[in-house]
Copies of this chain bind each other. A is one copy, B any other.
Amino acid sequence: MELLKERILAEGENLGGGILKVDSFVNHQVDPDLMNEAGKEFARIFKDVGANKILTAEISGIAPAVTTGLHMGLPVVFARKHKPITMPDQVLLTLAPSHTKGRKVELIVSPEYLSGGARVLIIDDFLATGATILGLVRLAMTAGSEIVGIGTLIEKSFEKGRERLQEVGVPIHSLASIKAMEGDEILFD
Contacts and interface: CB of A to CB of B under 8 A. Distances in A.
A87 B30 contact: no
A66 interface: yes
Contacts of A30: 62, 65-66, 69, 75-78
Copies in the complex: 2
A44 interface: no
Main secondary structure of the interface of A (DSSP, over half): mixed
Interface size class of A (residues with CB under 8 A): 35 or more
Contacts of A65: 30
A69 B67 CA distance: 12
Interface in A1-20: 15, 19
15 contacts: A15-B85, A19-B86, A21-B86, A23-B110, A28-B84, A28-B109, A29-B76, A29-B78, A30-B75, A30-B78, A35-B70, A59-B62, A62-B63, A84-B100, A86-B100
Given A28-B109, A33-B70, 17 more contacts: A23-B112, A24-B113, A28-B84, A28-B113, A29-B77, A29-B78, A29-B113, A30-B76, A31-B75, A32-B67, A32-B74, A58-B58, A59-B80, A67-B70, A85-B100, A85-B101, A86-B100
